[in-house]
Amino acid sequence: MPAPVAESILDAFAAIVGPNHALRDAGATAVYATDPRGLYSGLTPLVLRPGSTAEVSRILKLATETGTPIVPQGGNTGLVGGQLPDGSGSEIVLSLGRLDRIREIDLKSGTVTAEAGVVLQRLREAAEREGRIFPLALGSQGSCQIGGNLAANAGGANVLAYGNVRDLCLGLEVVLPTGEVLDDLRKLRKDNTGYDLKNLFVGAEGTLGVITAAVLRLFPAPKGRETAWFGLATPDDALALFEIATAAAGGALTAFELIQHRAVDFALRHIPGNRLPLEGPQPWYVLMEISSGRSAEDARGLAEEIAAAGFDRGLVADGTLAGSLAQTEAFWRLRESLVAAQKPEGASIKHDIAVPVADLPRFLREADRAVEAVCPGARVLCFGHMGDGNLHYNAAQPPGWDEAAFLALYPAMNRAVHDVVRALAGSISAEHGIGRMKRAELLETEPPVAIAMMRRLKATFDPAGIMNPGKLI
């Protein structure tokens, strides 16, 4: 257990941001030390809420000088504990929420320059007011912040057409552990002047430095959107439909979500206001979104063409296009309630995996067998972003089981499912990151050459080991 931070050092940190923005009272700091799902709970002697990049710089400089661990935090919505201090009470939380200026929107260059603490929803709305979109869309967008999104390389449902946030980011401002500021806020699509420093920090979960601002890409707002809900017999049918949709719509295919019936069933039973969009249940569903740069008619035409081809080829058993904006919203509300709908059924063991798109059906067959072997009667339910090969593959406890007894199987279940992922050259963390949750597994199972390189990066850029210790690497 690391030693507690000396009072005099805490005072020096607090002086940088001023008394109103240095929280030391346990009642005030607790919310920064626990995640909203209650999976991780830590302790911190001090939460710093800097108001400028210069203050972040002074904080990190002092941290390096005094060997004080710093845990950067955005909207505290991460799912793997990457944003939380440990239980030692020796880690200071650096909350970026006050860096919340949208510095510039440049419509001609198609960019927005925003500080780390800007809430994603606010950024999306600022773009929409200008007739543009910022396509990153997450369940947590009402509270997650763009700095955290970048640190975690956030994904979501629109990656299919627009890429991960890594792909949406043109430039960064980063404070290094020494306090030096890397100012790379360029609005350029093309820049081959040396090594790609930006992508060192995107996805690094705050272990190499603190992102304080970013230049992000904006896109023209679609002129038409069409949403469809299909019922299908098998994942193979869904894969075949995905091929049809890709060929027909190309970049206009902005979402292709695969959902198992059980997940929908839980959502219909436990989340008020949901209803099944089809006449009766089907084993699998696809939620498809088409966004047309041309017109509403064009979007509808494409969706109808894909639906017709799916019916004709016997892939789609039932399906409907959203007839109104209200229906579109209802489809997405159902999709988004799948996460919360698991809780009333008891404990569940979760996986955030990706495999090559072609291997998704095989993954599902083999993972289902793996789950059954670890816990006969466990109820697999999965949903996710089929177009990215990314599924949230979860197992709910058998009815009537004790939650704790089921959760004791977490490591064994993870291992069994992830073994299937690894055999298919997939990823055990497609979009949620490593954080605290998957660090041990990463270190154990990634190729030693890759782990050694990551360790060398960490040692090179954070030699004092002050940046978010115990996370990622």
3-state SS, 177-220, equals CCCCEEEECCCCCCCCCCCCCHHHHCCCCCCCCEEEEEEEECEE
Beta-strand relationship, 253-260 and 379-385: antiparallel
Report in angstroms how near the CB of residue 187 gets to its own copies at its nearest: 4
Q: Which is nearer to its own copies, 219 or 401 (CB)?
A: 219
Report in angstroms how near the CB of residue 434 gets to its own copies at its nearest: 6
Report in angstroms how near the CB of residue 55 gets to its own copies at its nearest: 18
Q: Which is nearer to its own copies, 119 or 244 (CB)?
A: 244
Residue 49, both tokens: 């809420």
What angle do helix axes 53-66 and 7-17 make, rounded to 10 degrees?
Answer: 170
Q: Which is nearer to its own copies, 183 or 402 (CB)?
A: 183
Q: Which is nearer to its own copies, 150 or 374 (CB)?
A: 150
Report in angstroms how near the CB of residue 196 gets to its own copies at its nearest: 5
Distances (CA, A) of 343 to 269, 371, 438: 12, 19, 22
SS3 415: helix
How many Å apart are CA 44 and CA 22, to the nearest integer?
Answer: 12
Q: Which is nearer to its own copies, 6 or 188 (CB)?
A: 188
* Pairs from 453-459 (Cβ < 8 Å, separation ≥ 24): 457/200, 457/208, 458/207, 458/208
Residue 229, both tokens: 């809900």
Q: Are 244 and 290 in contact (CB under 8 A)?
A: no
Q: Which is nearer to its own copies, 244 or 316 (CB)?
A: 244
Report in angstroms how near the CB of residue 239 gets to its own copies at its nearest: 7
How many Å apart are CA 433 and CA 19, to the nearest integer?
Answer: 34
Report in angstroms how near the CB of residue 63 gets to its own copies at its nearest: 18
Report in angstroms how near the CB of residue 16 gets to its own copies at its nearest: 21
Q: How many helices (H) and strands (E) does the chain have?
A: 17, 19
Strands (E), 347-404: 348-349, 352-354, 379-385, 390-396
Report in angstroms how near the CB of residue 129 gets to its own copies at its nearest: 16
Q: Which is nearer to its own copies, 273 or 447 (CB)?
A: 447
User: Residue 96: how many CB atoms within 10 A of its CB?
Assistant: 28
Q: Which is nearer to its own copies, 401 or 461 (CB)?
A: 461
How many Å apart are CA 271 and CA 360, to the nearest integer?
Answer: 28
Report in angstroms how near the CB of residue 289 gets to its own copies at its nearest: 15
How many Å apart are CA 62 and CA 164, to the nearest integer?
Answer: 33
Q: Which is nearer to its own copies, 21 or 103 (CB)?
A: 103
Report in angstroms how near the CB of residue 365 gets to its own copies at its nearest: 16
Sign of the dihedral defined by the CA atoms of residues 192, 195, 198, 203, in that order: positive
CA angle at 344 for the pair 338 and 347, rounded to the nearest 5°? 90
Query: φ and ψ at 171, to 5 degrees?
Result: -155, 160
Q: Which is nearer to its own copies, 141 or 390 (CB)?
A: 390
